Chains A and B, each alone.
Chain A
Amino acid sequence: QLQLHESGPGLVKPSETLSLNCTVSGGSIRSRSDYWGWIRQTPGKGLEWIATIYYTGSSYYNPSLESRVTISVDTSKNQFYLKLRSVTAADTAIYYCARDHGPVRFMDVWGQGTTVTVSS
């Protein structure tokens, strides 16, 4: 059974970089039919797709965040990653990783989410 698990600091200072890991278990991140994505949820903006990556490294970004975001993958560790630079309080959110069916498809298996607070 495919499972995803997010990890990373729960508190990040303003202007710093938010870094999160997603570990995939019960399946291979090299699956040719799967992509892997990050989504966040805030009380104000709701659910927001951030970025998606394929195991080859092909990546897709939400234009609203693209200038600050990098998504990457390490197939040897069955993990993928999110970096969000120059964070502000507006980036405080629950961050989810998920299995994606493509950059213009849907996400069907989600991690439990990790709460990240941006505060000094």
Chain B
Amino acid sequence: EIVLTQSPGTLSLSPGERAALSCRASQTFTSSSLAWFQQRPGQPPRLLIYDTSIRATGIPDRFSGSGSGTDFTLTITRLEPEDFAVYYCQQYQSSPRTFGGGTKVEIK
């Protein structure tokens, strides 16, 4: 199974700053089969990005995804107050689908 390692574990930033979250896979991807989710406290995960770089419906353009091979990045330009949350990557390159351990973006 593919293991996804997210870093950093916690990112302390101020509103308006830029966040870059990393997701590294234990195997090389032959396709763009990676998604990103946001989870706020007490809420289910919310799909942000799929197929590495496609924003889901209703997701603001300050969220963007990139990467290939084993290294993927979620970038949030100009953090808004509602963006402080936990972010997870998920691969669907192969079964079983797996999730990363998450990166918490907290207010500095």
Asked if B50 contacts A108 (CB within 8 A), the reply is yes
Asked if A49 contacts B97 (CB within 8 A), the reply is yes
Interface stretch, picked from B17-25, B63-71, B77-85, B88-96, is: B88-96
A residues near B98, Cβ cutoff 8 Å: 49
B residues near A64, Cβ cutoff 8 Å: 96
A residues near B88, Cβ cutoff 8 Å: 46-47
B72 at the interface (CB under 8 A from A): no
Q: Which of A64-120 contact B (CB under 8 A)?
A: 64, 96, 98, 103-108, 110-113
Q: How far apart sit A113 and B45, CA to CA, in the bound complex (Å)?
A: 10
A63 at the interface (CB under 8 A from B): yes
B-side interface residues, number (CB < 8 Å) = 22
A-B contact count (CB 8 A): 46
Asked if A110 contacts B45 (CB within 8 A), the reply is yes
Asked if A46 contacts B47 (CB within 8 A), the reply is no
Asked if A48 contacts B99 (CB within 8 A), the reply is yes
A residues near B45, Cβ cutoff 8 Å: 47, 96, 110
Asked if A105 contacts B44 (CB within 8 A), the reply is no
Asked if A103 contacts B44 (CB within 8 A), the reply is no
Residue of B nearest to A105 (CB): B92
Q: How far apart sit A107 and B99, CA to CA, in the bound complex (Å)?
A: 12
Asked if B94 contacts A104 (CB within 8 A), the reply is yes
27 chain-A/chain-B pairs, Cβ below 8 angstroms: A46-B88, A46-B101, A47-B88, A47-B90, A48-B99, A49-B96, A49-B97, A49-B98, A60-B95, A62-B96, A64-B96, A96-B44, A96-B45, A98-B44, A103-B95, A104-B93, A104-B95, A104-B97, A105-B92, A106-B47, A106-B90, A108-B50, A108-B56, A110-B45, A110-B46, A111-B44, A113-B44
Q: How far apart sit A47 and B89, CA to CA, in the bound complex (Å)?
A: 10
B33 at the interface (CB under 8 A from A): yes
B residues near A98, Cβ cutoff 8 Å: 44
Task: Give which listed residue, A47, A60, A107, A111, contacts B47 with CB less than 8 A.
Answer: A107
B residues near A62, Cβ cutoff 8 Å: 96
Asked if A110 contacts B101 (CB within 8 A), the reply is no
Residue of B nearest to A61 (CB): B96
